[in-house]
Amino acid sequence: MKVNQSDLEVALTRCKDAFIWAAIFSMVINILQLVPTIYMLQLYDRVVPTGNHSTLLMLTLIMLVLFLTLGALEWVRSQILVRVSSRLETLLNERLFQVTYKQALYSGGQKASSQALDDLTALRQFMTGNGLFAFFDVPWIPIYIGVMFIFHPYFGWAAIATAIFLIFIAFVQEKSTAKLLGEANALAIAGRNLVNKNLRNAEVIESMGMLQAIQARWLEGSRHVLILQAAASSRAGLISGLSKVIRLSSQSLILALGAYLVIENEITGGLMLAGSVLLGRALAPIDMMIGSWKGFIGARDQYHRLNEMLHQIPVDPEKMPLPAPEGCFQFDSAVVIPPGAKVAVLKGISLTIAKGDVVGIVGPSGAGKSTFARALLGIWPASSGKIRLDGAEVFAWNRHEIGPYIGYLPQDIELFEGTVSENIARLGEVNPEKVVAAAKMADVHSLILKLSQGYDTHIGANGGNLSGGQRQRIGLARALYGDPVIVVLDEPNSNLDEQGEFSLGQAIQLLKQRKVTVIVITHRNNVLAHVDKLLILNEGLVSVYGPKDEVIAHLQQQQVVATQANHSPPSPSSPVGSSLS
């Protein structure tokens, strides 16, 4: 096995034996396809001249038995390919689900799409269709041509010439339609992804009357797809019609050739008819390939997309389990560039967060606060420098193992399809005691009990009928579930009322008592009363970091100096990027 094989190539290699058996069955099937020709030949040349009823009966019985065998073998071959396709999906669907998730994660959600899973399904469907059967039958065309040479050399050469002509037509079809269909498929995929994104923002579109503008953009792309597909289909239809004309004409012309040879007493009348039938059977796989060329191009594009994606996002290497984290972070000249961006948002951050620290992060919009949180959690990697958790690079931790020790409340609250209790339990096994404890800690227990079915209330991915504050507090309960040792809260009070902010403060105080490392990102100062340290970011740099009281005193001192500077000659100012801890 090649070292650099993708998972798709490995899966196909595992199915190699099944493909070999399908090829063997195809060989036998194609040999049995000679039965109608031989049966016809025997009737014309042996039964009709002699009038022998016994010979007719025996030949007919043999023919029926062979046809039954042919049907059984074709069924077995189709079942082989059905099972291969099912096995292929079984081997790849879990891996492709992970790849799809990682592609969305590493692109910041810009490439969030289930296209890879759709490609796998379409590839599986192609493998069970007639198009693939044609590719299995094509290699056995020499069998028919060899028999035609036995009938008469002229028949054999006529068959070769016709086959070469049809193969040339197939090549022309590939060159004339492949590029158009590839572009059309790419635009169609982009259009579907755009529609999916717009559907998630249906409320915004409706409220601000943006539907016509959105629809116009989609229609523009859709028209382009239709133009490309129509052009490709027009060319394919022309070429497919031409191939059919050539095949039918060749069968009639070979009859004329046979008639000439009969007149010249070189062959019998039976061989004349058998040659025409056999030529049609020999050319049928090529004709079927031309007819199913669009499906073949689609399957080829799907294969290349899957292969490329699997090469780009390799399997995560096995990582040795690490001890449970304690919550000590160290940034060492960390530079972070968000997925899809070219400019760094965090520019050489160096600082330490000790176990049990409650750090408030503030700064203007675009300062890099949310990027700091994602980098700290190992969601986005550092392009240079290091970010360590308990001495190990945060990206080196196994996400499945470290997940239960981390609580994260992002700016945009996303709840999942399921019950309230399942959402709080992170879609894992619901532990009622832990769910209630997390809900009480977030002060959302009484609110949940007032829902129609309490903790068993089903909510959709968008939160159903829950308000923004309710979703935020359920998201907080999810972050607090299972006694995490690290809790990151990104704008946790953006949708909270006064009571909600009070409950949030109480939750932070409880986390502080448990020596949990807490990171709070906020634009509102109320929650900062509960933090021990302050980190002020400005344009991706540390403006100041240290104990809260010292940071506030430092800022006040800078303000006094700035005020005095407005009434006196300029003097050197204190350096930006200082650390007080």
Q: What are phi and psi of 342, to 5 degrees?
A: -115, -15
- Do the Cβ atoms of 311 and 103 come closer than 8 Å? no
Alpha-carbon distance of 557 to 160, in angstroms, equals 94
Alpha-carbon distance of 409 to 477, in angstroms, equals 9
Residue 141 pLDDT: 86
**Lowest-pLDDT choice from 169-183, 190-204, 277-291, 448-462:** 190-204
Residue 12 pLDDT: 85
Mean pLDDT of 341-360: 90
Alpha-carbon distance of 365 to 433, in angstroms, equals 39
Residue 145 has pLDDT above 50, yes or no: yes
Alpha-carbon distance of 85 to 52, in angstroms, equals 50
Residue 1 pLDDT: 46
pLDDT in tens, 522-551: 887 788 888 899 999 988 898 889 898 888
pLDDT in tens, 49-104: 888 888 889 989 999 999 999 999 989 998 888 888 888 888 888 888 888 877 77
CA 260 to chain centre: 61
Q: Is the pTM of this model over 0.85?
A: no
pLDDT in tens, 405-443: 999 988 878 788 888 999 899 888 889 999 999 999 988
Please tell me which residue, 497 or 209, carries the higher pLDDT value.
497
The helix (H) or strand (E) run that includes residue 575 is: none
Residue 435 pLDDT: 92
**Strands 384-389 and 392-393: what pairing?**
antiparallel
Q: What are phi and psi of 547, to 5 degrees?
A: -55, 140
The 392-393 sheet, strands edge to edge: 346-353, 329-336, 384-389, 392-393
Mean pLDDT of 281-295: 78
Alpha-carbon distance of 538 to 572, in angstroms, equals 20
Residue 238 has pLDDT above 70, yes or no: yes
- Do the Cβ atoms of 19 and 84 come closer than 8 Å? yes
| Every domain of the chain and the residues it spans | 7-312, 357-369+405-574
pLDDT in tens, 554-567: 777 777 766 666 66
The single residue listed with the structure tokens 């999916």 is 196
Mean pLDDT of 37-45: 84
Residue 255 pLDDT: 86
Residue 107 pLDDT: 61
What class has domain 357-369+405-574?
Answer: alpha beta
Alpha-carbon distance of 38 to 26, in angstroms, equals 19
Using CA atoms, how far residue 505 sits from 198, 327, 515, in Å, is 36, 20, 15
pLDDT in tens, 371-410: 898 889 888 888 889 999 988 888 878 888 888 899 998 8
Residue 519 has pLDDT above 60, yes or no: yes
What class has domain 7-312?
Answer: mainly alpha
Band of pLDDT at residue 331, cut at 50, 70 and 90: very high
Most confidently predicted of 228-242, 388-402, 460-474: 388-402
